[in-house]
Amino acid sequence: MGIIRNRSLISRVKQQENRVYVPAEARDNQYIIAELAINDNLIAQVSDHSLNPTPKELLSLLLNKVRRVIAQHEIDYVAVVASNKFIRVRYGVDNEINTTQEQHIVYYNPEKSKGVIGLCPEDTQSLKSIRVVCFATGDNLRENAALFHQKVTNLVSDLKQSFDFIEAIKVQDHQHISFSLEKHSSSTNSKAHGFRVIEKRYESSGLVLPDERNSKAFIVVKANFSELLTEKVLNQNYDVSHMHAEISHLLIQLAQEVGINHMAYIASKRYPVVKSNFVVGSGNQKGELISLNFGNTEHEVIQQIDDDYINSSAHIVFYMPENTVVKFGYAVYINKVIKLLDRLSQKLHLTEHDKAMLLRFYQHFSYKA
Q: Is the pLDDT of residue 50 over 60?
A: no
pLDDT of residue 278: 47
Q: What is the pLDDT of residues 214-235, one digit of tens each?
A: 999 999 999 999 999 888 877 6
Q: What is the pLDDT of residues 311-331, one digit of tens each?
A: 999 999 999 988 888 888 999
Q: Is the pLDDT of residue 280 over 50?
A: no
For all residues of the chain together, what is the average pLDDT? 86
Q: What's the pLDDT band for 269 if we cut at 50, 70, 90?
A: very high
Asked if 267 contacts 308 with a C-beta cutoff of 8 angstroms, the reply is: no
Q: What's the pLDDT band for 9 if we cut at 50, 70, 90?
A: very low
Q: Is the pLDDT of residue 187 over 60?
A: no
For residue 100, give every residue at least 6 positions away whose Cβ sits within 8 Å of its Cβ, in sequence order, or none: 85, 288
pLDDT of residue 156: 94
3-state secondary structure the chain: CHHHHHHHHHHHHHHHHCCEEEECCCEEEEEEEEEEECCHHHHHCCCCHHHCCCHHHHHHHHHHHHHHHHCCCCCCEEEEECCCCEEEEEECCCCEEEECCCEEEEEECCCCCCEEEEECCCCCCCCCEEEEEEECCCCCCCCCHHHHHHHHHHHHHHHHHHCCCCCCCEEEEEEEEEEEHHHHHHCCCEEEECCECHHHHHHHCCCCCCCCCEEEEEEEEEEECHHHHHHHHHHCCCCHHHHHHHHHHHHHHHHHHHCCCEEEEEECCCEEEEEECCCCEEECCCCCEEEEEECCCCCEEEEEECCCCCCCEEEEEEEECHHHCECCECHHHHHHHHHHHHHHHHHHCCCHHHHCCEEEEEEEEEEEC
Q: Is the pLDDT of residue 241 over 90?
A: no
Q: What's the pLDDT band for 188 if we cut at 50, 70, 90?
A: low
Most confident of 52-66, 130-144, 268-282: 130-144
pLDDT of residue 279: 46
Asked if 127 contacts 84 with a C-beta cutoff of 8 angstroms, the reply is: yes
User: 10 burial class (0-12, 13-18, 19+ CB within 10 angstroms)?
Assistant: exposed
> Rounded mean pLDDT of 86-103?
90
d(CA 19, CA 330): 9
- Axis-axis angle for helices 145-162, 55-70 (nearest 10): 130
- Amino acid at the residue 188: T
d(CA 71, CA 164): 18
Asked if 68 contacts 46 with a C-beta cutoff of 8 angstroms, the reply is: no
d(CA 43, CA 59): 8
Q: How many CB atoms lie within 10 A of CB 151?
A: 17
Q: Which position has the higher pLDDT, 176 or 188?
A: 176
Record the pTM. 0.90
HSE of 124, CA atoms in CB hemisphere, 13 A: 17
Q: What's the pLDDT band for 33 if we cut at 50, 70, 90?
A: very high
Q: Is the pLDDT of residue 92 over 60?
A: yes
pLDDT of residue 307: 86
